[in-house]
Amino acid sequence: MLRLPTFRYLQPRSLREALAMKADAGPDGMFVAGGTDLYPNMKRRHQEPRVVISLMGIEELRRLDGWNVGTCVTLSALSSLPTFQRSQSAVAGAAQLVSTPLLRNMGTLGGNLCLDTRCNYYNQSYEWRKSIDFCMKKDGAICWVAPSSPRCWAVSSSDVAPVMVAIGAEYRLVGPQGERLVPAGRFYHNDGINYLTKQPDEILVDVRLPAPNGWDAVYHKLRRRGSFDFPVLGVAAWIQWNGKKVGEARIVLGGVASYPQEVAAAGAALEGAPLSDEAIAAAADAAYQPSKPMDNTDFDLSWRKQMTRVYVKRALEELRARH
Amino acid sequence: MSNESKVKIALSVNGEPAEVAFAPHKTLLEVLREDLGLTGTKHGCELGECGTCTVLLDGTAVLSCLVLGVACEGRAVRTVEGMAQNGQLHPLQETFADLGAAQCGYCTPAFLLVAEALLAANPHPTRDEIKHALAGNLCRCTGYIKIYEAVELAAARMRGEVAQPTRESLYGR
Amino acid sequence: MCPAPVTAVGRSVPRREGADKVTGRARYTDDITVQGAWSGRTIRSTIARGAIRSITLDPAFDWSRVVVVTADDIPGDNVVQLIREDQPVLAPRGGEIKHKEEPILLLAASDRATLEEAATHVRIEYELANPVFEIGSATEVFSTVEITKGDVASVERTADLVVEREFRVGLQEQLYIEPQGAIALPEADGAFRVVGSLQCPYYVHRALKRALKLTDQQAIVVQAETGGGFGGKEEYPSIVAVHAALLARKAGRPVRLIYDRHEDLAATTKRHPGVIRHRTGVKKDGTLVFQDIEIVLDGGAYCTLTPVVLSRAAIHAAGAYSCPNVRIRARAVATNTPPNGAFRGFGAPQSLFAAELMVEHVAEQLGGGVSSVDLRRKWMLRLGDTTATGQVLTESVGSELVLDAALKAATTFQPSNIPTVRRGRGLSLVFHGSGFTGSGEKKLSGTIAMEALADGTFRILTASTEIGQGTKTIFCQLAADALGVPLERVTIAPQDTSLVPDSGPTVASRTAMIVGRLVQEAAAEIKQRLQRERPPLRVDKSYIQPDSIHWDEATYRGDAYPVYAWACTIADVDVDTTTGEVRVTDLVTAVDCGKALHPVMAEGQIEGGCLQAVGWATIEEIKMKDGGYQNDRLATYLIPTALDAPRIRTVLIENPYSRGPFGAKGIGELPMDGPAPAVIAAIHDATGVWLDEVPATPEKVLAALNGAQRREAAQS
């Protein structure tokens, strides 16, 4: 059996207590929620915190208050709420598409939003990584995906994050310096190592979803099987309708970069006109251009790039069909 | 792990109160198998990628390989060993054994518990709902068909119906 | 002697170990607690080819808490006992490394933490050599097979149409859900008891004797409950067991060696990948003139069972068809990749994949309204026909029965109503030799014993193992009916080499048919003797090759198998033409099993085998990097989930075989053969494009669709 390394496990009851514990632990401390991302990574020695601080006992993080969702709400709970299925269907739907029912019973919204980036050269056993002299994301010096690159190209593999960026959700963070609200789009960095703008000692407390107000969004996921697999491409599409016309639109791609990648040109291609076949094709094309998957996930990268066009088109057609 | 301090927790295991001491970084899977002697819960990957180690935690199906033992203080754990009552097999256990849903049997405890949680929430699942509920558990022996049939028959019996399995298979010449 | 019992054979009676499996009482290897046992682990090569220059144990680490085993600690021969003597138990210092993950050193310690730490203090330095990874550049040949029927060269020019095609099949992992593992316990008088997850107790027994220099009595092998095998636990457990025993010997205490999933995926055997070339000649009316077939399989770095896999591949290469002129040239080559080995089907799925698609290609090129089903009817082996090895089929030939039954059972074909999705249907017709190839059964002479006990019960003693397929249940059914006693009065002894005779390995679709027949015969003999004798009685039965079976190993002529099982599979697929994604929605498979001894278990074998084949055909893909597998976990080696599995319907056809127990034939491997070519044919039916390889990944399907579009555009 693969086992966890030794560590201290702390179970704070309040945010303040959690922050104090993290301050005590310093860089050796990490927060954990459902554990479905961190514990496998710890078992494979991708992350080696000496102190693990569980957020699951903090009431505030499990709260659901209108469209404000605590980050320790499980993905199962999020996807099965009738109000969310009705009025936040992209969020509920993306949560429903994460991994498996078992994992969703444990995994949390916050965990998925902060999911570690993934790569074929990183998500390997310790021995495997050692045999290639590791990579820059952990224990090594270079990026095997792009050996001349100064940065890590591990892939953002969250299903829910692209939706949050697309719908313009806001994240509330609490840290030693106090509280701040960050738009989802500014929470992520296109860097496989420093993929979050969150400071390690900050806690993602809740997510503020925009109230339903004439907008609609969908999420489409590409993977090999009907369950388990991370997205090799995710497309979140959001439209603020203005009658029959598109007022504003955002297209966000998951699984192609180290962050949920908004393609502004794709959204712009849709604005101010009805969602015609031509407009959809233009947006799909605009999304296709900057979609530059690297050869570090399942499937061939050129196929994954081609799929961007197909999936953007499908997402927009679905939005059109139900408008 | 004699050189390490142990933690002690109290929890309910298969309806019985239990106290158990173990190294604090152990998963529930390890605690069940190594410290409580309940080896009915199996391990297949320890990374959440096969579903083989499923148990019910407060009635919810979870992967015991990704739950820390210390996080189970005061909670109720149900494993395959707790399914039979007073020597009487659970209807799911009966149908899994009778309808060929258990071949090598290694993934069986996990499937049983997921199915039990499903039927508790939804006594009348469709074939499609069963598939979705079982989508986190890998089986390499059965092709899943006999597992669906077993869940459907157990569900019918638990609803008090006199039922025969819906047969995918034809027997003919 | 007792009232007439309800007949057990043919009824789906409760599985013998079923209650244990559904209650968690069944003890798999890692469920067994052994007082004072240490844990072991294997240190493996990180290079694909070279020599070990040095092995250094870091002096800064306290090695007194750890047991270290190297090749120098092997008391017997440093050979994994199998077909050839090429694979060392542990690569010796100065010795050659032939593949990544090759075992070099073994460690054991009282606790996991020490063990893990010790592993980081072993340093191995290598002398690198140039590895060979591709079949095309391989020079070392493990074995060759040549099968000749008629004379291809002399009739070549009489064919009106010659179709040539090359097919490729990829690696596949067995992916039993329980990883490999063994526990070795030192016992009195220098004996070692090994309890493990395994298919073939006597393979392990022989391997232990050889490497640890033990007598028959000193090597004791016990099968624990085994969580799936599919061939993956045929030969590999010998390595795990010998390693565990070497550690136990040096430690002087029990040692557990349980693989985690990563090690299991990275180091254990896979299905042989290969390239198969066909040249088929036909007359205008479709009459088969000749088949010229070349097979190359990649055996990996060591021989393991490769020659036998190649043999089965070659014998099945012409498909379930009767052709007057056949030339099959097959060879297995060595590469510096981890050794490939046994996997359900054992070479036949590879060669039948090519053979079945050839029928499709020939039908397409013949045109004129001849369907591939018509062609199959025309070509199929029937009673009295002769196979490629010259075997005359004298009984239980189910080709037409299964074809008719599958066509009848298939539902009305409904085209897709989604504009971007095209639906297609494909069919395959296959046969699979039950039992060992050629004179295998004769040489093996598998033995079982049966005892009539004083308490009125009967006990079967066999080394045939239960790995999920139902051995324990079926043997008891056979014995009960042959004895004429209720099922409850028959028991089966544990699979422990100190108790049971060598019944041969649990492989090759031989258990129910060959060993089951011995059980039936022993029971009949006991019944007879009980008319004049009193229990306790014991009868031993060994396989005796019937005089009517002739096989010439040198020429590959004769009765390759005692009998064949037959299957026709119809697959429906949905192909998304914008993405190339393939979803197998429906499978109907009609199987001539001789007699369904236990219909539910027979169906279970078929359904499970079909899904493995669908996985191989669609999503199971291993990517290589520097001679090792990139897929080292279940997030990257993907097997079908409940949401990926098609609806599977089985039609069991009973077409008795006179020397099978109650007419039964072996069908364990057969379901692995048919679905892959049926899926590829269905993709063609849906889209008009041919893939001549598996897996049919969306990348390949879409590329083929785009290629076809470009060709069409160029033509118009």
- The residue of chain B with its CA nearest to that of C591 is B173
The pLDDT-based confidence of C93 (bands split at 50, 70, 90) is confident
Q: Are strands C38-44 and C255-258 parallel, antiparallel or unpaired?
A: parallel
Q: Which of these three, C486, C518, C542, is where a domain ends? A: C542
Q: Which of these three, C243, C267, C291, is where a domain ends? A: C267
pLDDT tens digits, B132-167:
999 999 999 999 999 999 999 999 999 999 988 766
Counting the structural domains of chain C, the total is 3
Contact A303 C702 (CB under 8 A): yes
Residue C477: is its pLDDT beyond 50?
Answer: yes
Domain assignment present for residue B145? The answer is: yes
The token pair that represents C64 in the structure block:
């007194």
pLDDT tens digits, B17-48:
999 999 999 999 999 999 999 999 999 999 99
CA atoms within 13 A on the CB side of A204: 30
The pLDDT-based confidence of C336 (bands split at 50, 70, 90) is very high
Domain assignment present for residue A267? The answer is: yes
How many angstroms separate the CA atoms of A236 and A217, rounded?
7
- Rounded to the nearest 5 degrees, what angle is found at the Cα of B144, between the Cα atoms of B142 and B150? 100
Q: Which of these three, C475, C507, C542, is where a domain ends? A: C542
Contact C608 B142 (CB under 8 A): yes
Residues 6+ apart with CB under 8 A from C268: C173, C174, C180, C232, C236, C259, C338
- Helix axis angle, A277-288 relative to A301-321, nearest 10°? 150
Which one of B90, B145, B151, B168 would you mutate to disrupt binding with C, by most C Cβ within 10 Å of its Cβ? Answer: B145
How many angstroms separate the CA atoms of A262 and A248, rounded?
14
Domain assignment present for residue A283? The answer is: yes
- B122 and B67, same structural domain? no
Task: Please report the beta strands in C462-592, taking only residues with DSSP state E, as ranges in sequence order.
Answer: 490-492, 537-542, 551-552, 557-558, 563-576, 582-592
- Please check whether residue C105 is in contact with residue C227, taking contact to mean a CB–CB distance below 8 angstroms: no
- C479 and C368, same structural domain? no
- The residue of chain C with its CA nearest to that of B132 is C643
pLDDT of residue C709: 86
246-275 in C: which are within 8 Å (CB) of A?
258, 260-262, 266
pLDDT of residue B5: 86
- C491 and C596, same structural domain? no
Domain assignment present for residue C552? The answer is: no
- B98 and B55, same structural domain? no
How many interface pairs between A and B have CB atoms less than 8 angstroms apart?
A: 89
Domain assignment present for residue C463? The answer is: yes
- C703 and C586, same structural domain? yes
- C371 and C305, same structural domain? yes
- The residue of chain C with its CA nearest to that of B92 is C22
The pLDDT-based confidence of C716 (bands split at 50, 70, 90) is confident
- The residue of chain A with its CA nearest to that of C100 is A131
Taking the alpha carbons of A167, A172, A177, A178 in that order, is the dihedral positive or negative? positive
- Mean pLDDT, chain C, whole residue set: 96
Q: What percentage of chain B carries pLDDT values higher than 70?
A: 93
Residue B97: is its pLDDT beyond 90?
Answer: yes
pLDDT of residue B94: 96
pLDDT of residue A290: 94
- Please check whether residue C559 is in contact with residue C551, taking contact to mean a CB–CB distance below 8 angstroms: yes
- C350 and C262, same structural domain? no
Read off the CATH number of the domain in which B76 is found.
3.10.20.30
Selecting from A2, A307, A310 the residue whose C-beta is nearest the C-beta of C260 gives A2
pLDDT of residue B172: 41
Domain assignment present for residue B11? The answer is: yes
pLDDT of residue C5: 53
pLDDT of residue C1: 45
pLDDT of residue C6: 60
Residues 6+ apart with CB under 8 A from C417: none
H helix or E strand, kind and range, residue C354: helix C348-366
pLDDT of residue C708: 87
The pLDDT-based confidence of B173 (bands split at 50, 70, 90) is very low
**pLDDT, average across residues C377-384:** 98
Domain assignment present for residue B170? The answer is: no
DSSP character at residue C492: E
pLDDT tens digits, C185-242:
999 999 999 999 999 999 999 999 999 999 999 999 999 999 999 999 999 999 999 9
- C82 and C200, same structural domain? yes
Domain assignment present for residue A8? The answer is: no
A40 has a chain B CB within 8 A of its CB: yes
Residue range(s) defining the domain that contains residue A276: 215-321
- B95 and B71, same structural domain? no
Residue B2: is its pLDDT beyond 50?
Answer: no
- C190 and C298, same structural domain? no
Read off the CATH number of the domain in which C401 is found.
3.30.365.10
Domain assignment present for residue B2? The answer is: no
Phi, psi at residue A322, to the nearest 5°? -100, 10
Counting the structural domains of chain B, the total is 2
- B36 and B98, same structural domain? no
The token pair that represents C554 in the structure block:
């040198």
How many angstroms separate the CA atoms of A58 and A77, rounded?
17
Read off the CATH number of the domain in which B132 is found.
1.10.150.120
Q: Which of these three, B60, B82, B104, is where a domain ends? A: B82
Domain assignment present for residue A82? The answer is: no
- B151 and B118, same structural domain? yes
Selecting from A3, A4, A40 the residue whose C-beta is nearest the C-beta of B48 gives A40
Which one of C13, C21, C197, C614 would you mutate to disrupt binding with B, by most B Cβ within 10 Å of its Cβ? Answer: C21
How many angstroms separate the CA atoms of C556 and C548, rounded?
17
- Please check whether residue C597 is in contact with residue C661, taking contact to mean a CB–CB distance below 8 angstroms: yes
Residue B3: is its pLDDT beyond 80?
Answer: no
pLDDT tens digits, A112-153:
999 999 999 999 988 889 888 999 999 999 999 999 999 999
pLDDT of residue B167: 67
Domain assignment present for residue C148? The answer is: no
How many angstroms separate the CA atoms of C252 and C273, rounded?
41
- B150 and B114, same structural domain? yes
Domain assignment present for residue C549? The answer is: no
- Please check whether residue C606 is in contact with residue B141, taking contact to mean a CB–CB distance below 8 angstroms: no
Tokens 């560590």 belong to: A7
Residue C488: is its pLDDT beyond 60?
Answer: yes
Phi, psi at residue A87, to the nearest 5°? -110, -10
Which one of B50, B106, B113, B126 would you mutate to disrupt binding with C, by most C Cβ within 10 Å of its Cβ? Answer: B106
Residue C3: is its pLDDT beyond 90?
Answer: no
The pTM of the full predicted model, rounded to 2 decimals, is: 0.97
- The residue of chain C with its CA nearest to that of A314 is C578
pLDDT tens digits, C513-546:
999 999 999 999 999 999 999 999 999 999 999 9
Task: Report the 10 Å Cβ neighbour count for C75.
Answer: 11
Q: Which of these three, B16, B47, B82, is where a domain ends? A: B82
Task: Report the 10 Å Cβ neighbour count for C230.
Answer: 29
**pLDDT, average across residues C51-80:** 97
Residue range(s) defining the domain that contains residue B73: 7-82
- C654 and C584, same structural domain? yes
The pLDDT-based confidence of B59 (bands split at 50, 70, 90) is very high
How close are the terminal C-alpha atoms of chain B, in Å?
Answer: 61
- Chain C residues in contact with A222 by the CB 8 A cut-off are 579
- Please check whether residue B97 is in contact with residue B149, taking contact to mean a CB–CB distance below 8 angstroms: no
- C537 and C580, same structural domain? no
Domain assignment present for residue C150? The answer is: no
ipTM of the complex: 0.97
- Rounded to the nearest 5 degrees, what angle is found at the Cα of B122, between the Cα atoms of B80 and A62? 80
Counting the structural domains of chain A, the total is 1
Which of A118-127, A201-210, C215-224, C706-715 is the least confident region? C706-715
Read off the CATH number of the domain in which A255 is found.
3.30.390.50
Domain assignment present for residue A298? The answer is: yes
- C663 and C585, same structural domain? yes
B14 has a chain C CB within 8 A of its CB: no
Selecting from C112, C262, C579 the residue whose C-beta is nearest the C-beta of A3 gives C112
Domain assignment present for residue A252? The answer is: yes
DSSP secondary structure, C113-179, as one string: HHHHHHHTTEEEEEEE------GGG---EEEEEEEEES-HHHHGGG-SEEEEEEEEE--B----SSP
Q: Are strands C288-300 and C326-334 parallel, antiparallel or unpaired?
A: parallel
Domain assignment present for residue B134? The answer is: yes
pLDDT of residue A64: 95
CA atoms within 13 A on the CB side of C527: 17
Residue B171: is its pLDDT beyond 60?
Answer: no
Residue C290: is its pLDDT beyond 60?
Answer: yes
Residue range(s) defining the domain that contains residue C95: 32-131+175-267
- C207 and C114, same structural domain? yes
Task: Report the 10 Å Cβ neighbour count for C659.
Answer: 18
Phi, psi at residue C190, to the nearest 5°? 70, 15
CA atoms within 13 A on the CB side of A157: 23
